[in-house]
Amino acid sequence: MSNVVSRETHHVPITSILNGFVRRIVEAAAWFNVLLIFLILFAVILRYGFHRNQLLLGFPLVPLEELQWHLYSVPVMFGLAYAITNNTHIRIDIVHMRMSDKLQHFFEIFGILFLLLPCLVVLLDFTFDYAVYSYTHNESSQSTMGLPHRWIVKTVLPLSFILMIIATVARLIEESVLFMYSSKESPKTGQRVYPFDLMTLRLFKPLSKDALGNDFLEFRTTVDVIAECFEWTDVKDLDALLKLAALSNSIQGVDGR
């Protein structure tokens, strides 16, 4: 099997960590869609089953309708960050797909540094002021029967841009690492490293997505160094630690896919 570093065969641990953080938040926010479905059903039944027959008129529809688009905005905005982590946002890659891998990584880095990140920072600053203004002025719905505390839904905007910035930084790190290792053999594994190199080794070094391949050798290297630092001489402890490292690596390999 080839050891050439590519996006299909390797992943960058720090990128996987940041993307995992963003995905967990977005996946939790996606449950708002379930609540939204029941809310829409309730509003439709209330409108056509009761209000039309002059029943339950004490339950106004305006706050329900406003709450619907409030709930709808959360997964939609947070989903933008999710698209960045999965590289599923809309793009025109007619020219991009014909470039070499190294050139593709270069233009990705250029676009992130000079287009995407500056845009996200400007929008974050704008939406943060937007939410603060709504909070300080106690903004509410223009309808007399509408929902109060409009700042709650407007806070979703800066939060979503923060998540997008985190996902973009993760993408920038990944592209930079892949650019440096593009078309090169993956770093040799199984060699001893010093403790101060462990952070760089584990977080910013491209690792194989094969849970029983290079990743396991990296974990064994790490375990050997830790054991040497703490002078662990009990073979049973080392075997247990190796098994734990292999299990953790298997989980990481699945996440990297």
Give the model confidence (pLDDT) of 171-198 as tens digits: 999 999 888 887 665 555 444 444 444 5
Task: Look at residue 217 in the predicted model and tell me its pLDDT.
Answer: 43
Residues 105 and 211 in one domain: no
Domain end marker among 181, 214, 240: 181
Task: Look at residue 23 in the predicted model and tell me its pLDDT.
Answer: 95
Give a yes or no: residue 186 inside a domain: no
Query: What is the number of domains present in the chain?
Result: 2
Residues 30 and 139 in one domain: yes
- Given a cut of 70, whether residue 6 has pLDDT beyond it is no
pLDDT band, very low/low/confident/very high, at 212 (cuts 50, 70, 90): very low
Find the range with the poorest average confidence among 9-18, 136-145, 169-178: 9-18
* Distance from C-alpha of 16 to C-alpha of 11, rounded to nearest angstrom: 7
Residues 227 and 155 in one domain: no
Give a yes or no: residue 56 inside a domain: yes
Find the range with the poorest average confidence among 24-28, 78-82, 155-159, 231-235: 231-235
Domain end marker among 181, 212, 238: 181
- Given a cut of 80, whether residue 202 has pLDDT beyond it is no
Give a yes or no: residue 3 inside a domain: no
Residues 70 and 116 in one domain: yes
Give a yes or no: residue 242 inside a domain: yes
Residues 232 and 112 in one domain: no
Residues 128 and 209 in one domain: no
Residues 19 and 71 in one domain: yes
CB atoms within 10 A of CB 131: 21
- Tokens found for residue 176: 């930079």
Give a yes or no: residue 66 inside a domain: yes
Digit-coded pLDDT (tens) for 82-125: 999 988 887 777 777 788 888 888 999 999 999 999 999 999 99
3-state SS, one letter per residue, for 87-106: CCCCCCCCCHHHCCHHHHHH
Residues 16 and 113 in one domain: yes
The boundaries of the domain holding residue 118 are 10-181
* Distance from C-alpha of 257 to C-alpha of 241, rounded to nearest angstrom: 25
Residues 141 and 248 in one domain: no
Residues 128 and 68 in one domain: yes
* Distance from C-alpha of 91 to C-alpha of 116, rounded to nearest angstrom: 13
- Given a cut of 50, whether residue 235 has pLDDT beyond it is no
Give a yes or no: residue 96 inside a domain: yes
Task: Look at residue 228 in the predicted model and tell me its pLDDT.
Answer: 53
Give a yes or no: residue 79 inside a domain: yes
Domain end marker among 149, 181, 213: 181
Residues 111 and 221 in one domain: no
Give a yes or no: residue 144 inside a domain: yes
Residues 162 and 222 in one domain: no
